[in-house]
Structure 1
Amino acid sequence: MNGKWGASLIVVAALVAGMAIYYLQVYGYYYEVTPQPGEDVTLVSRATGQPEPIPYSGFRAIDADSSPIRYRSCFTTPLTTDQLAAYVPLDSAEPLVAPGWFDCFDAEEIGRGVEAGQFHMYLSVKNIAYGVDRVVAIAPDGRGWAWNELNHCGRKAYDGTPVGEDCPPRTEGAGS
């Protein structure tokens, strides 16, 4: 009889721990970003090399303090492909999957659109955190998405290889 209670206790503890881990990964660390009108969506200008706000509406975003690459946002913009030519394009970027409850950000759809050349990608902010850039993808119909992803220096820093002289110095606590 005591063995059954012990085994039951272990199973219940494992289930509770599993549910807690699931909750923390999918819901617990994320928070909705408070919109800052006129500042939420920026693209790096080809002319100045600096991020500039673009017109947008319907902005929604989530983020988490636990990782610099958990940011995701969705918006719409009236800018045309010709107008977007004034901003720094990106050749490659891969949208990261968002939690299922943040339904405006479908990484698979965005990835297919980027792969097919239908959605155009732009640099939004370089080194928003050490080794992390913000990337924006915009569809021809004006739908847009932004996410943070590791850049060249970030990939090197986080896999443990020396970053080299082409990367900025890493400050204490950066990337955390």
Structure 2
Amino acid sequence: MTGKIIGAVIVLTALVGGVALYWLQVYGFYDTVEASGAKDDVQLTLLVTGEPEPILYENFKAIDADSSPIRYRACFTTKMSEALLTETYEMVEHAEPRNAPEWFDCFDAKEIGVALEQGEALAFMGQKEVIYGIDRLVAIMPDGRGFVWHEINECGEIAFDGDPLPAHCPAKPED
């Protein structure tokens, strides 16, 4: 009888731990990012200056988490034309959107990735080094839907691996 009780306690503890771990990974660490309506909600990097500039957008929804610098995801719409965007802002090749939690249903990484591969969507540099070693990328579909995510850049990969930084990388800030 004692073995059954101990076994039940172990199974129940594992079940509760598993559910808690799942909830924390999928829901617990994410916070909603409120649109400020200011400069930093949706930006693209200008070709001329290399500096980020706010663009026109509507319907902004975003999530972020303190647990990782690459958990940021955002969705928006814009009425800016593809011609204006490609002539004004820095484009990015080989952008790969990161998956978002299923409950953040405006961001479908698979759909965005296919559109980018097929040349239907355009990828832009949102902001370089938004956090050390992390760039903010923006993809815009032909229908005006836009998506934002963070990606580790080349210097970030090297720094996070603990390898010496090449000369072209900015110095890693002290913690």
User: Structure 1-normalised TM-score?
Assistant: 0.95
Between 149-158 and 66-75, the greater mean CA deviation after superposition? 149-158
User: What aligned pairs does 1:105-144 form with structure 2 within 5 A after superposition?
Assistant: 105-144=107-146
User: What aligned pairs does 1:1-176 form with structure 2 within 5 A after superposition?
Assistant: 1-39=1-39, 40-85=41-86, 86-173=88-175
Letter in 2 for 1:70: R
Fraction of identical pairs, as percent: 51
- Unmatched tracts of structure 2, length 5 or more: none
Q: Deviations over 1:29-59 (max 9, x none)?
A: 0000011114210000001111000000000
Q: Deviations over 1:134-157 (max 9, x none)?
A: 000001111000000000011222
Between 152-161 and 42-51, the greater mean CA deviation after superposition? 152-161
Question: 1:162, 1:5 → 2: CA distance?
Answer: 55
- Note the aligned Cα RMSD (angstroms): 0.9
3-state DSSP of counterpart to 2:20: helix
3-state DSSP of counterpart to 1:73: strand
Kindly report structure 1 stretches of 4+ aligned residues shifted beyond 4 Å: none
3-state DSSP of counterpart to 2:139: strand
> Matched residue pairs, number?
173
TM-superposed CA distance for 1:159, in Å, is 2.9
**2:42 and 2:55 in contact (8 A); partners too:** yes
3-state DSSP of counterpart to 1:111: helix
Q: Deviations over 1:90-126 (max 9, x none)?
A: 0111100000110000000000000101100000010
User: Structure 2-normalised TM-score?
Assistant: 0.96
Q: Deviations over 1:2-48 (max 9, x none)?
A: 11111111111111111111011000000000111142100000011
